[in-house]
Amino acid sequence: MIMSLTFLHTADWQLGKPFASIEEPSKRHRVQQERLHAVQRLKEVVEKTGASFVLVAGDLFDSSHATKATVSAACAAIGSLKIPVLAIPGNHDHAGPGSIWEQEFFKREQQQLAPNLRVILTPESVVLENAIIFPAPLLRRHDSGDPTAWIRAALEDPSLPPELPRIALAHGTIQGFGSSQEDEDGGSTVVNWIDLSRLPMEQLDYIALGDWHGTKQVGPKAWYSGTPETDRFPKGEGNDPGNLLKVTVSRGQAPAIEKISIGHFLWKELEFRFSDDASLGLFASRLDEAIGQRGDEHLLLLSLVGSLGIEASGRLEKILESWEARLLRLKLDHRVTIAPTEEEIIALTQRAEDPLIATVASQLVAQIDGDDEDAAIARIALRELNSSCLA
C-alpha cells in the first residue's frame, strides 16, 4: 500500500527586512511586522491541512544581522506551529563563519522557543520518519557551483529506506530564472544556479525551491513557493507572491500541489495618462476603485503621464498628497507636464490690476516650451504664481 504524506513548502520569509524605501517609520514597522504575522498565520494552515512538517527553502531571515527581537519573535512563531520545521540557509541568511545560525543568542532562543526548528547546515540526506530530505544549504551568499550537485550521488545510497518519499530542498535560480534583485530597484545578476536537468527526476518525488518570490511551477515536480507575504511590486506577468504550498507526495507518484494564499498587504501598480483637465476626475475615480477605504493595506506604484493645465495640475498634487498619507507607500513615477490653458495664460499675463505679476507670468510663459530642466522649472513656477494669485 502506497502511503501519502502532506507537508507545507514555504520560503523567503526574510524576517527583519528593512524596507528602507518606506520613509515613515510607523509604516515601515507595519510592513516589517506583517512578515512575522505571515509566519504566525501558518499555524491555522497547519491545523487545517494536517501537515506533517514545514519545509523552509532558504532566507528565513533577511540577513545574518537580524536583531535579537526579530530572532526571538521568529522562534516564538515557529514554536507555536508544534510540528517539525526544517529550514536551509539561503543567500540572505547563508551559513558559514559569522552566520546567524552560529550565534549563541539564536541557539538559545531556538532551544527555548522553537525546539521544533531544525536548521540544516550540511549537504547530506536527512531521514525522517515519513520522508527523506536532500537539502542544499547555501554556505555563502554567492555560490558559483550548483548547490544541488551532491544530491545525484546521494540518491544512489542503498541504505536509504526505499519506501519513503524523496524531497530535494534548495535555494537558488534555475536556468537564469530566480530572484536576482534585492528590491524593486536592484541590479540583476545570476548566482546560486541550480541545474534541474542534471537531477534524476525519476528518483525524486518533489523539489522544494526558494529564491523566486512568486509561486511558480518550474518542472513536473519542482516548484518555487514564493514568499508568504509580498515584499515588492509585481515583476511581469505570472509573478504570484503571498502564498505557500500544500504538497502531498507518495513514493514514485506525481505530487499533488495546492496553493494557499496567506499574504495580507496588497502591492499594486496603476498607470494613467492625462489627456485633458477633465481626465483628472476619472483618475481620482480610478484610484478610489483600486484602493477604496483600505489605503493602509496598500503599497502603490503609480505611473502618470500626459499634461494638465495649471489649476488641474495643482489639484493633482493635492490628490497625490492625500494618497501618500493614506497608503503604506506611494512610489511615484510622475511625468505629467503642466500645459496652461489659453484662459489661464490670459488670466495671468493680462492682469491690468497687477502689472508685476503679468510681467513675470509673461516671462515664464515664454520659457515653458520644451523638455529641458529650465522649461520644467518655469512650468512649476507658473503654477505657484497662479496659486498665489488665487490665495
Beta strands in 62-131 (DSSP E): 85-87, 117-119, 126-127
Q: Which of 261, 285, 303 is the last residue of a domain?
A: 261
| pLDDT tens series, the chain, 391 aa | 567 899 999 999 999 999 999 999 999 999 999 999 999 999 999 999 999 999 999 999 999 999 999 999 999 999 999 999 999 999 999 998 889 999 999 999 999 999 999 999 999 999 999 999 999 999 888 777 788 989 999 999 999 999 999 999 999 998 655 554 444 544 445 678 898 988 999 999 999 999 999 999 999 999 999 999 999 998 767 789 999 999 999 999 999 999 999 999 999 999 999 999 999 999 999 999 999 888 899 999 999 999 898 889 889 999 999 999 999 999 999 999 877 766 766 666 666 676 666 666 666 667 767 677 776 676 677 666 666 665 5
Same domain membership, residue 223 and residue 276: no
Q: Which of 261, 289, 318 is the last residue of a domain?
A: 261
Same domain membership, residue 22 and residue 139: yes
- Taking CA atoms, 33 is separated from 53, 74, 101, 227, in Å, by 24, 11, 22, 14
Cβ atoms 335, 304 nearer than 8 A: yes
Same domain membership, residue 356 and residue 221: no
Same domain membership, residue 173 and residue 117: yes
Question: Which string of DSSP letters, residue by residue, matches 161-221?
Answer: -TTS-EEEEEESBBTTBS---SSTT------SB--GGGS-GGG-SEEEEESSSS-EE-SSS
- Taking CA atoms, 235 is separated from 55, 186, 223, in Å, by 25, 12, 18
* CATH number of the structural domain spanning residue 128: 3.60.21.10
Same domain membership, residue 270 and residue 178: no
Question: Which string of DSSP letters, residue by residue, matches 269-281?
Answer: EEEEEE-STTHHH
Same domain membership, residue 320 and residue 234: no
Same domain membership, residue 292 and residue 253: no
pTM above 0.95, yes or no: no
Number of domains in the chain: 2
Same domain membership, residue 110 and residue 69: yes
Same domain membership, residue 337 and residue 248: no
Same domain membership, residue 172 and residue 40: yes
- Taking Cα atoms as reference points, which of 332, 261, 346 lies closest to residue 303? 332
User: What is the extent of the structural domain holding 247?
Assistant: 4-261
Residue type, 227: T
Grid cell, residue 304, equals: 502618470
Same domain membership, residue 244 and residue 285: no
Same domain membership, residue 378 and residue 331: yes
Pairing of strands 298-308, 266-274: parallel
Q: Which of 243, 261, 279 is the last residue of a domain?
A: 261
